[in-house]
Amino acid sequence: MKTMNRRDALLGLLTLPTLGGLGACALFSAGPFTDFHVSANGSDDSGDGSSERPWRQIAHALQTIPAVVMSARILVGAGDYAGGLRIRRGIVIQGTGPEQVRLRAPAPSEPVVDIQGPGLSVRLEGVLLDGQNNRNGGLMARNAGLRLLGVHVLQPLSCGIWVEDCPLFSLEACRVSTGDLYPVWTDLGLNLVRSQGNVTGFVGGDRIDHVINIIGGAVVIDGAQITGSPIWWADGIRIQSAADVTVRRSSIVRPPGGEVPPDGRVHNTPYAGVEVAASRHGGRQVVLEDVRIAGFDVGVGVNLEGNAIRLRRVSVDSARESCVRVIHPVGERAPVIDLGRVGDPGGNRFGQDAPYALYHQAAFDVSAHGNDWGVAEADVESRIHDRLDDPRLGRVLR
């Protein structure tokens, strides 16, 4: 299977070769499907999966539906159900909504839903996955086509939704939250590893260390609402290695009154609204458009080698140290830092409450034309740290 670029991920079904089992079309199509029914009032002993005689558990339905049924859909009625689902076939599982359908983690070491390919196409819709503070969280998907619609993951300990080596995924109107029953922190909300796809309308963040974590792949995030945790080491979106990432029309806000580092110092990455730390990897791009960031030590922390980052109409407020901070990359390949160019203004707004609008610590130049620096023109240089402060550094071109 060829490697997909960001455009391929957006087009999805037009470029992805047919997946085994259910087929890629089932990720987005409205059918037709062969329906089977599961109900809280059903029976795995006497039921046959019909609407009149539904089964009791989803796991039983997965085991019982014949493999020759290529377009199977499990319709799940309101109620509580056992999790620990091991999905190894193409399937659609459709609940009546996360407020009505709850799947519970079966054991401390098992995710509520475990999906593994290769070549599967799985769609999960309208359910709540209750991790009950278990170690492996809500959902793990590897090497499969995946679509989640209106899925809420509650009380995961390690990770809410883990997507790894998936050729195509789509997460729509999903949510990860820690709940109120356990005084713990979740490590990762979404963990997207070497996968291609879209995250639309995601909500999450409170008591989550890294709300969205990206390692490679191609990801488009649109309309996310992220509430950063008050602990000092937490960030909003963390890009750990080279990836094509676009974040649009999203809000990444950390409530006021958060903890400061115990040593009293202010850190940049990885404690930023958006952390881009892709050193020693080249040829990829991160784009932020129409994004609001507030309340972090640093709005956007950049540590790149040979990569590119582009900011357009990004607003940063209430940053403790700087709105944007660029630190020196480990390697020698200078990245492209584009905060606005001549003829293509950035339109970014750097709130005046941060000591620095742009704290530049590297030897290459940064393009930053057409931005609102939060102060009068005569005072802009006081909010920029660059070659005028240290001759070893590059310039901020504005």
* Span 376-389, average pLDDT: 94
57 in any annotated domain? no
CA neighbor of 163 nearest in space, from 191, 187, 186, 135: 191
CA distance 9 to 15: 8
369 in any annotated domain? yes
239 in any annotated domain? yes
Assigned token pair, 219: 């990801």
Its pTM stands at 0.89
Domain with 345 in it: what CATH number?
Answer: 2.160.20
CA distance 272 to 309: 15
Domain count, the chain: 1
49 in any annotated domain? no
Query: How many C-beta atoms lie closer than 10 Å to residue 222's C-beta?
Result: 17
Please give the pLDDT value at position 229. Answer: 78
Contact 263, 232 (CB under 8 A): no
- Lowest-confidence range among 6-15, 63-72, 117-126, 377-386? 6-15
Question: pLDDT by residue (tens digit) across 217-248?
Answer: 999 999 999 987 777 678 899 998 888 999 99
Cα Rg for the chain, rounded, in angstroms? Answer: 23
Question: pLDDT by residue (tens digit) across 16-58?
Answer: 444 444 555 566 677 789 999 999 999 999 999 999 999 999 9
Assigned token pair, 185: 């922190």
- Higher pLDDT residue, 320 or 293? 293
Residue pointed to by tokens 């937490």: 234
Could you give the percent of the chain with pLDDT greater than 90? 61
Please give the pLDDT value at position 260. Answer: 54
48 in any annotated domain? no
Number of H-type helices and E-type strands within the chain: 2, 33
CA distance 97 to 149: 10
Helix (H, G, I), strand (E, B) or coil at 79: strand
CA distance 391 to 259: 35
Question: pLDDT by residue (tens digit) across 108-162?
Answer: 678 999 999 888 899 999 999 998 766 667 999 999 999 999 999 988 878 899 9
Contact 19, 58 (CB under 8 A): no
Residue pointed to by tokens 């972090």: 296
Domain of 267, in residue numbers: 6-35+71-397
375 in any annotated domain? yes
CA distance 304 to 327: 8
